[in-house]
Amino acid sequence: MIRFICADLRRLWAGSLVVVLLVAFATALGVSVVLQERALRLGSARAADKFDLVIGAGGSETQLVLSSVFLQPSPLPLMPGEVLARLATDPRVDWAAPIGFGDSFSGYPMVGTTTKMSNKLSGDFAEGKAFTHEGEAVIGSAVRLSLGDEIKPMHGSAEEGGETHTELAYNVVGRLRPTDSAWDRAILVPIQAVWHIHGLEAEEHADGAEETEGDHDHAGAEHDEHGQHGALDPDATLNETWAADAPGLPAILVKPKTIADAYKLRQDYRNGNTIAVFPGEVLTSLYATLGDAKQILVAVASGAQALVAASLVLVTVIHIGQRRRQIGALRAFGAPRGAIFGIVFLEFFFLVAVGIALGFALGFAAALTLSGLLSQTSGIAMPVGFAREDAGLMGVLLAFAGILAALPAVLAYRQSPAQALRA
């Protein structure tokens, strides 16, 4: 029987190839949707794990997390600098790192922060050291620069017609280890330098820090309205003790000492003027949205698979009709009905099973390629891999293939030799 099936498939190789490819592409569509959604969910969750609590001015919690954790460019309202001063002396806080952004270099976001943040973000340095002066910078693992390179910040981005601070430059002094987060593509500079570059003085912003700078990026940008910049002393040492009259901030990343402290801090800073969020909780609501989108895409993929299945049934029924004489001859030479059923069933099931296996491979390759492209642009590592539930999906598809294969086999089984030879 196996020899006959192999010979039959070689003789009808073109039709067999079409069946395999149809099944493979329909399967790959569904598999790639499932794998990509899972990779995006796991990658974003792992990236957010490094940040326990984020505090910002009143506004969108989702946008606060996207901007501060995933470094997606968007203007955020500013909160008073006194919030940072309170957190710095709060006994419940292990460390609090202010962040300010709005500048970029060669497509990489530049983030103003503290020495503590640069030391804690990846746990250690791949090379070099943390910045200690205003004119120094630390780069993420995915930034294509070398130690000693010069960085001239651009306010905004090139796509938005950003303005380069030609008179200012940072010197790269360290590279962080990989964090599998958007911060791997970030350039970290002292928040003190960001304030000075943008002409922010503590006295000027002590009273007005609560204002929302809707048309300016994060560091507050009155200097941009007038085309003026502040002064930067590259050799100035850093002063990271915060006073109540510090300039306004878009966000503060907080590391509480205990889980209980984290919940208390979140409650204390959800007071209308500020919001405090756990990034994981915000991501949960985003996952729900992704889940809805996934269901739509899976429904589309299932529809495509149903159309392919209907086409295969039609092609197979026509194929059985064209092979009536061959089947009749086999029956005339004494082949039992069970053998005819087995030949037709196994031949069709084999083709569909090969298509399903190839579809899983193609779906995996497609998800891997797409995740790689997304990781390059976002910096977030997206792990693509099969899970235990994927074996259940393959089992369902193979069971469905068995049902499809049984239909032409039954038609061949019920065909009498006399009817077949007269056709």
C-alpha 145/C-alpha 110 separation (Å) is: 13
Q: Which of 244, 245, 239, 194 is nearest to 220 (CA)?
A: 194
**Mean pLDDT within 179-195:** 90
| Pairing, β 187-190 against β 108-113 | parallel
Contact yes or no for 115/130 (Cβ under 8 A): yes
What residue type is assigned to position 151 of the chain?
I
Length of the chain: 423
Name every residue whose Cβ is closer than 8 Å to that of residue 141 and which is 6 or more positions away in sequence: 122, 126, 175, 176, 177, 178, 179, 184
Q: Which of 53, 94, 87, 92 is nearest to 261 (CA)?
A: 92
Angle between helices 279-322 and 61-68 (to 10 degrees): 90
- The radius of gyration of the chain's CA atoms, rounded to the nearest angstrom, is 31
Whether the model pTM is above 0.85 = no
Which position has the token pair 């203007």? Answer: 75
Out of 241-250, 314-323, 373-382, least confident range: 314-323
Q: Residue 103: beta bridge partners?
A: 110, 155
3-state class (DSSP) for residue 274: strand
pLDDT, residue 272, reads 76
pLDDT digits (tens, 9 = 90+) for 213-244: 434 444 443 334 334 455 677 788 888 888 88
Tokens of 283: 């991501």
Q: Alpha carbon 48 to chain centroid distance?
A: 12
Highest mean pLDDT among 60-69, 154-163, 213-222, 325-334 belongs to 60-69
Contact yes or no for 159/218 (Cβ under 8 A): no
pLDDT digits (tens, 9 = 90+) for 271-300: 878 999 999 888 887 777 666 666 777 777
